[in-house]
Structure 1
Amino acid sequence: MSARTDAEASRNQAVTGITPDTLRVKLVEKLEAQHVQIEDLSGGCGQMFEAIIVSPQFAKKTTLARHRLVNGTLKDEIAAIHAWTPKCFTPEEWEKKKVETS
């Protein structure tokens, strides 16, 4: 559900209270995330997010286990939005990825 106007986008965010910042804060607090980058892909209505999350808690976990950990942490928020796409990395994986892309 994409907002048709800026006013509609503001109302949607006011109703859910979900913003990239609220998601970031919770991920840092609950998962000890060292880096969280969240992009609102919905045009500002707060209904579709993509995230890069770097946490030492992802060590020795499969991709599925990492996603379950994140989704469990953001259970209420995910229920209120349309789409959520996390990309989860350990600090070591993230450093390697940054080197590969530079």
Structure 2
Amino acid sequence: MKALRRLLPPPRTALTSQRRCSGTDSDSGEARLEELLKTRFPTASAVRVQDISGGCGSMYEVWVESSDFQGLSRVKQHRLITEALAEQIKDMHGLRISTSVPES
């Protein structure tokens, strides 16, 4: 049993999470990204941003539904999102993007 404990990583604690997160406020990060996307896509029928890094602000998931994506490939739609968030992406570990065109 002792040999197994040495092979396993130490349990995560609140202190460990705080050190890794460096005190970022995820709500303000979500709001900031959402505002940038709403500014870039003013006709969007839906914009949602969620911090999926456990509150660290290092990884986000964004959903944007906009008529601006009409006729564009999924790659081009996602490129528009990454261009809108280019400065913020530099400080992120990752970004998960979902886009869609509103149904008529």
Shared topology, TM-score over 0.5?
A: yes
The answer to whether structure 1 residue 4 and structure 2 residue 14 are counterparts is: no
Give the percent of matched residue pairs that are identical in Structure 1 and Structure 2. Answer: 26
- Which range moves more in the overlay, 28-37 or 60-69? 28-37
Tell me which structure has the larger Cα radius of gyration: 2
Which TM-score applies when normalising by structure 1?
A: 0.74
Which stretches of structure 1, 4 residues or more, deviate above 4 A after TM superposition?
none
Higher helix share: 1
C-alpha distance in structure 2 between counterparts of 1:12 and 1:39, whole Å: 14
Cα distance, 1:86 vs structure 2: 0.8
The question of whether the paired residues in 1 share the 8 Å contact of 2:61 and 2:95 is answered with yes
C-alpha distance in structure 2 between counterparts of 1:38 and 1:28, whole Å: 11
List alignment gaps of at least 5 residues for structure 1: 96-102
Cα distance, 1:91 vs structure 2: 1.4
| SS of aligned partner of 2:17 | coil
- What is the total number of aligned residue pairs between the two structures? 87
C-alpha distance in structure 1 between counterparts of 2:92 and 2:25, whole Å: 10
Which TM-score applies when normalising by structure 2?
A: 0.73
List alignment gaps of at least 5 residues for structure 2: 1-15
Cα distance, 1:69 vs structure 2: 0.6
